[in-house]
A and B are shown apart, each in its own frame.
Chain A
Amino acid sequence: MKVSSSVFASLCLILELFGLALFLRGFFPVPIKSSFSSKSKLSDLPAEPLTGTSPNASKVPPALFKRVVVVLIDALREDFVFGPSGRKYMPYTRHLVERGSSHSFVARAKPPTVTMPRIKALTTGSIPGFIDVVMNLNSPVLLEDNLIWQAKAAGKKIIFYGDDTWVRLFPKHFMEHDGTTSFFVTDYTEVDNNVTRHLDSTLKRDDWDVLILHYLGLDHIGHISGPHSSLVGPKLVEMDDVLKKIHTSLISRESEGTLPNLLVLCADHGMSETGSHGGSSEPEINTPIVFISPAFKRKVAMETPPVVEQVDLAPTLALALGLPISQNSVGCVIPAVFEETSLREQLRFLHLNGFQLSCLLKDSIPTFQKEDGYEQFRVSEKSHGNWMKLYLEGNTSEVLVNMGRKVLKQYLEALKSMSSALSRQLGKYDMYSMVVGMSVCVCLQMLLLLLFAMPEALSNGAVVDLPLGSALLSLPFYLLCLLCAALHVFVCTSVGGSCYFCSLPWALVFTAVAFSCAFLCTLVSMAARRLSVGAKSPTKVSNWRLSELDVLLLLGTVGHTLSLASSSFVEEEHQTWYFLLNTLCLAVFQDVCRKYFREKKRLSQGEDEGPLLPSTKGDNAADDASTSFSPVAELGVSAGSEKWLALATPLLTLACCRLLRSLNQTGVQWAHLPDFSHWLNNGEHKTVLSLLAVASLALVFVLVQRRCSLVSKIALALGLLGVYSYRAAVGNILFPWQHTSRAPSKGTVEARFVYVFVLGILFSGAKDLLRSQVISSDVRLKSRGLWEVYSGLVLLAALLFRAHNLPVLAGLLLIQTLMAQFIWKRLHYDAAQTTIMHYWFGQAFFFFQGNSNNIATVDISVGFVGLESYVEAPAIFLTAFSTYAGPLLWACHLVCYLSSERDRSVVSLGHGCYCFALLRSIPAVAYVVLVTALRYHLFIWSVFSPKLLYEATHTLATAAACIFFTFMDQNQNLTRP
């Protein structure tokens, strides 16, 4: 079966995507769930243990507090309260922490430190899986057993004000709620005023039991200008006033005879040094928890707050309110909060928590009896029973108290080790799915590599001969199928139901097995063929010489792939790409120098020899005219200055890259350094930003319009104007004639205006493409159509990029134009080299945009451009497009470039597609293998898993680009005479 290499590459990439998806499903552990899907009930609670007599039906523990107010301040770092800035800006809270009746703790949040998983952790006490981050965009209703549900079921009245993520998680749980949306990051006053405005009236009322406030302002300030900005101080003062107001109101309504009230100050996550969050650096995971209630003892002096886990809040609050602990909670109660209760009650609380944890342990770990914590819990339960017996007999001696304390200690140890065993359980992987996914990936990878080993298939025909038919009819294929199926049945029946691959329908699994066996057979027969060919003609390999550039390109690809094994290099991947790109530009510069100086030498030699000169010159000119659009005609450059422009191009590219890299600092180690984008977004430099945006948009227009039709030119100009007015409407940049500051709007009208033009240009491009295919095989029409599709994408990117990122787009176009005109065409780089260069540039531009391998840098606000509310499909598409705009635009340019170069080599598109797929799948597959090997690495959740998601998404984007390639290639094959 003969397939063209572009089709082959796309097919491989798509199959690889399936493998990756299966791998991801196995890699990201499903959160621990109790086997019963029901919620904990009060009646299910165990009785107090008592040895001897039959278990007495002791009463359910009563609530300790009457009312609870939870103040959750988004991105409140621990040092904002306990550090020096707390002393300065939050004097009242600080006074309560130091001298008031309060307990304060540093709560460690688990990564990913993103709001929704953290809210889930706070309310359910479980640790949400990493995959929850992906679901962060549309938070569905929380169905798991949780504190809010329990409180509602117990008849408590809950009021909520703040981030509307809560409202989406708990749609019917609140008696009263007012959600504020968190997507307009630039607004940090209104979001909080919308919460505080309800406070006075609510505090006066008596009809509620739990009040939850979620303040977003601080988080927004962090996103805009970081933790050291001048905006943070006033915001903390505002929060301090809110706390003071609530606290004084609670105190004044305190009356004799009733239970005391409780005020809890906590945070969902911290804030990194750059002001973002999502990772696992210390300032991001350390958050304060302060319990304030008259029931506690007064503090004498400031103590260093002890460290607890963030999930500990859920069981603590549950017991404090007299509610059952949520089933899936892995936290253990904070004993300090219950210090003032009697020893019997304290033991009772710990027993309840321990019972719940041991149930969860039983459900989630098959070998639960071997766990230390479980054993400890059994022992302490027994001694608890003994203690109870003595206690009920009326023994009140000192010995009993000491014994009780001992039991307490035992309980706490048991809780700690059970909790950590459960948390560890979250790191368990579905190995079978991973291995199957991996072997599918690796299989295809070998296939691609083998293909790479046959230069003749790559160079001339661009046609791959897949011996699929003979493989399907061979005996080994059927044997292999049987073997794999048997293996599958064996693994699935022995492992049990914890494997995702086993839970798939059997028919699907066996189809997949047959597929992979067929591929394996094909692979083997291809390898055999290759080996026999190689043995017959060994001389062919030796004359295959590599230039310095080839060596660099190969070494760079291999080196980058290897560097993915180190967490630092993953964090700082942008440095790798900038470094490689720089070296590439210097190598290209050397090539250019060699070409022009050697030519000069040859020319001067020719002058010496006399009559040779005119003929060579004439040949060159003829060559130029026939092979490609010469820059002389296209840019109006004279032939003499062309040499100097060609020499200047790599240098200009280098300078451009250097400027762009100082635009956005990404990564981890140097992310806190001041960069140009912060300076531009400062507010004081709005004029500069506006001028920069205008200049970039103008440059974009000049560079893109060259090859468009007149209609598209006009549409492009209007579209770019629309982009500017959209940015002005949102409030990022200034309108020249607008002096009074208008309130920033959403800019929906402007954005939709641009969308119309984007669609228009894309449509006209597609129309040209189709016409060139159906009606006439006009090359010009086709290349214009391609270019129009490309310019439509550029316009979309211009709309989605933040104002300070517009220079990235302009730089991208500038480099593309110059390189295409003076380097790739002039120096006759072949399709493979050009493709690798495009890929490297694409990677570097991915990071120039400010992206990194951290989830926190994904700009979600892009999904709301031109939309009134959250709509899933367009939001995801827009976010993905704007994140991968750099690589996608380079891939698109590659298609345009290669298809315009068709005179030189008809198969260049096929080669380009093949190389592109190969370049993507080498790091992706290597990374999958690496991650499997490093799955118990310390940084697996904070560094490697986000990168895995990025790799998978990037492969998806590349697959889309490859399909486009294939389409164009087929198109070309059809029109080829």
Chain B
Amino acid sequence: MWDSEIRAMASAHAIIASSVFMATVVPAVLVENFSVYRTHLVWLYSVCGAVAAVNVAVFGLLGVSPPAKKHTLHHKVSRLVKSCLHFLLSCLFFHAVVVLYGAPLLESTLETFSLSVLLSTLTTLRCLCVLGPNVQAWIRVFSRDGAMSVWDTSLQITAGCSVVGAWLGAFPIPLDWDRPWQVWPISCTLGATVGFLTGLVAAPVWIHWHRKQLTYKSK
């Protein structure tokens, strides 16, 4: 059981990671003058879109998300609306945090907001896919020793890695190298993406490594 779950996770993560690469390669073929630095926002949103779509598809197919209690259309719509609302709120939350970290408040709002959209896609959206719009469950997963399944642990790892990646990505900004990737928010988005990819790789490996120690309470 363990091995099959880990294998499923590894393949799911591989698909998600490849979607990030595809989101970088495909627009380069299709869009004229595409470049990760110069048309950064195009790249950013293509990555966001790809990751979001693949996440929703993969987790929908795997059936990891909690089973809906009612199968009525009304319930499904309200779930969807709730999820969208959560996503928007998390975007605003990340935006606020980034501004608190010193991003300009009035200038380059679009860039800052795009960064927060990316961060939300990499963290919140996965939570929504795995846990549903249920804040109590989120708090449980992200408090210490709160993980109840392999997926919870992977969520913890990927979300943590994305955020830490974005955090580390801010380091080179004050350096006077005048490189194109030092422009706000490119280093942070790149950091977040790299962190996310690292998290995708690290999560199955870490769980495999610690599979003896990991004992989850049943729900």
Whether B175 contacts A597 by the Cβ 8 Å rule is: no
Binding site for B on A (CB under 8 A): 566-569, 571-572, 575-576, 578-579, 582-583, 586, 594, 597-598, 654-655, 657-658, 661-662, 667, 669
Is B217 among interface residues, defined by CB-CB distance under 8 A?
no
Whether A583 contacts B167 by the Cβ 8 Å rule is: yes
Q: Could you say which of A579, A583, A597, A657 contacts B143, with CB atoms under 8 Å apart?
A: A597
Contact indicator per residue, chain B 188-212, by CB within 8 Å of chain A (1) or not (0): 0000000000000000000000000
Secondary structure at the A interface, as helix, strand, loop or mixed, is helix
Q: Could you say which of B100, B139, B143, B174 contacts A572, with CB atoms under 8 Å apart?
A: B174
Chain B residues lying within 8 Å of A669, measured Cβ to Cβ, are 174, 176
Whether A594 contacts B143 by the Cβ 8 Å rule is: yes
Q: A583-B167, A594-B143, A594-B144 are in contact. Are A658 and B102 (CB under 8 A)?
A: yes
Q: A655-B100, A658-B99 are in contact. Are A579 and B170 (CB under 8 A)?
A: yes
Closest 6 CB pairs of A and B: A572-B174, A568-B175, A568-B176, A654-B100, A575-B174, A658-B100
A762 to B167: give the CA distance in the assembly, Å.
Answer: 44
Given A654-B100, A658-B102, A661-B102: 12 more A-B contacts, CB < 8 Å:
A567-B176, A568-B174, A568-B175, A575-B174, A579-B101, A579-B170, A598-B143, A658-B99, A658-B100, A667-B174, A669-B174, A669-B176
A269 to B100: give the CA distance in the assembly, Å.
Answer: 37
Whether A575 contacts B102 by the Cβ 8 Å rule is: yes
Shortest Cβ distance from residue B123 to the other chain A in the assembled complex, whole angstroms:
15
Q: How large is the interface on B (under 10, 10 to 19, 20 to 34, 35 or more residues)?
A: 10 to 19
Shortest Cβ distance from residue A937 to the other chain B in the assembled complex, whole angstroms:
14
A578 to B99: give the CA distance in the assembly, Å.
Answer: 12
Chain B residues lying within 8 Å of A569, measured Cβ to Cβ, are 174-175
Is B62 among interface residues, defined by CB-CB distance under 8 A?
no
A-B contact count (CB 8 A): 40
Shortest Cβ distance from residue A628 to the other chain B in the assembled complex, whole angstroms:
26
Shortest Cβ distance from residue B78 to the other chain A in the assembled complex, whole angstroms:
26
Is B97 among interface residues, defined by CB-CB distance under 8 A?
yes
Whether B97 contacts A586 by the Cβ 8 Å rule is: yes
Chain B residues lying within 8 Å of A658, measured Cβ to Cβ, are 99-100, 102
Chain B residues lying within 8 Å of A657, measured Cβ to Cβ, are 100
**Which residue on A lies nearest to B103, using beta carbons?**
A658
Shortest Cβ distance from residue B7 to the other chain A in the assembled complex, whole angstroms:
31
A594 to B144: give the CA distance in the assembly, Å.
Answer: 9
A576 to B167: give the CA distance in the assembly, Å.
Answer: 12
**Which residue on B lies nearest to A567, using beta carbons?**
B176
A661 to B144: give the CA distance in the assembly, Å.
Answer: 33
Chain B residues lying within 8 Å of A567, measured Cβ to Cβ, are 176
**Which residue on A lies nearest to B175, using beta carbons?**
A568
B 95-128 contacts with A by CB, 8 A: 97, 99-102, 105
A567 to B177: give the CA distance in the assembly, Å.
Answer: 11
Shortest Cβ distance from residue A34 to the other chain B in the assembled complex, whole angstroms:
39
* B99, B100, B174, B175 interface centre (most CB from chain A within 10 Å): B174
**Which residue on A lies nearest to B139, using beta carbons?**
A597
Chain B residues lying within 8 Å of A654, measured Cβ to Cβ, are 100
Whether A566 contacts B102 by the Cβ 8 Å rule is: no
Q: A594-B144, A597-B143, A598-B143 are in contact. Are A582 and B100 (CB under 8 A)?
A: yes
**Which residue on A lies nearest to B140, using beta carbons?**
A601
A568 to B101: give the CA distance in the assembly, Å.
Answer: 19
Whether B102 contacts A578 by the Cβ 8 Å rule is: yes
**Which residue on B lies nearest to A586, using beta carbons?**
B97
A566 to B170: give the CA distance in the assembly, Å.
Answer: 16
A598 to B176: give the CA distance in the assembly, Å.
Answer: 45
Whether B175 contacts A566 by the Cβ 8 Å rule is: yes
**Which residue on A lies nearest to B101, using beta carbons?**
A582
B 139-192 contacts with A by CB, 8 A: 139, 143-144, 167, 170, 173-176
* B99, B167, B170, B175 interface centre (most CB from chain A within 10 Å): B175
Chain A residues lying within 8 Å of B99, measured Cβ to Cβ, are 658
**Which residue on B lies nearest to A583, using beta carbons?**
B167
**Which residue on B lies nearest to A563, using beta carbons?**
B171
A408 to B158: give the CA distance in the assembly, Å.
Answer: 72
Shortest Cβ distance from residue B116 to the other chain A in the assembled complex, whole angstroms:
15
A583 to B175: give the CA distance in the assembly, Å.
Answer: 20
A572 to B167: give the CA distance in the assembly, Å.
Answer: 17
Chain A residues lying within 8 Å of B176, measured Cβ to Cβ, are 567-568, 571, 669
A329 to B94: give the CA distance in the assembly, Å.
Answer: 60
List 28 interface pairs A-B (beta carbons < 8 Å), by A numbering: A567-B176, A568-B176, A569-B174, A571-B174, A571-B176, A572-B174, A575-B173, A575-B174, A576-B174, A578-B101, A578-B102, A579-B101, A579-B170, A582-B100, A582-B101, A582-B102, A586-B97, A594-B143, A594-B144, A597-B139, A598-B143, A657-B100, A658-B99, A658-B102, A661-B102, A662-B105, A669-B174, A669-B176
**Which residue on B lies nearest to A582, using beta carbons?**
B101
Q: Could you say which of B97, B102, B139, B175 contacts A579, with CB atoms under 8 Å apart?
A: B102
Chain B residues lying within 8 Å of A578, measured Cβ to Cβ, are 101-102
Chain B residues lying within 8 Å of A571, measured Cβ to Cβ, are 174, 176
Chain A residues lying within 8 Å of B105, measured Cβ to Cβ, are 662
**Which residue on A lies nearest to B173, using beta carbons?**
A575
Chain A residues lying within 8 Å of B167, measured Cβ to Cβ, are 583
Shortest Cβ distance from residue A671 to the other chain B in the assembled complex, whole angstroms:
12
* A571, A576, A579, A598 interface centre (most CB from chain B within 10 Å): A579
A576 to B101: give the CA distance in the assembly, Å.
Answer: 11
Shortest Cβ distance from residue A584 to the other chain B in the assembled complex, whole angstroms:
12
**Which residue on B lies nearest to A668, using beta carbons?**
B176
Chain A residues lying within 8 Å of B100, measured Cβ to Cβ, are 582, 654-655, 657-658
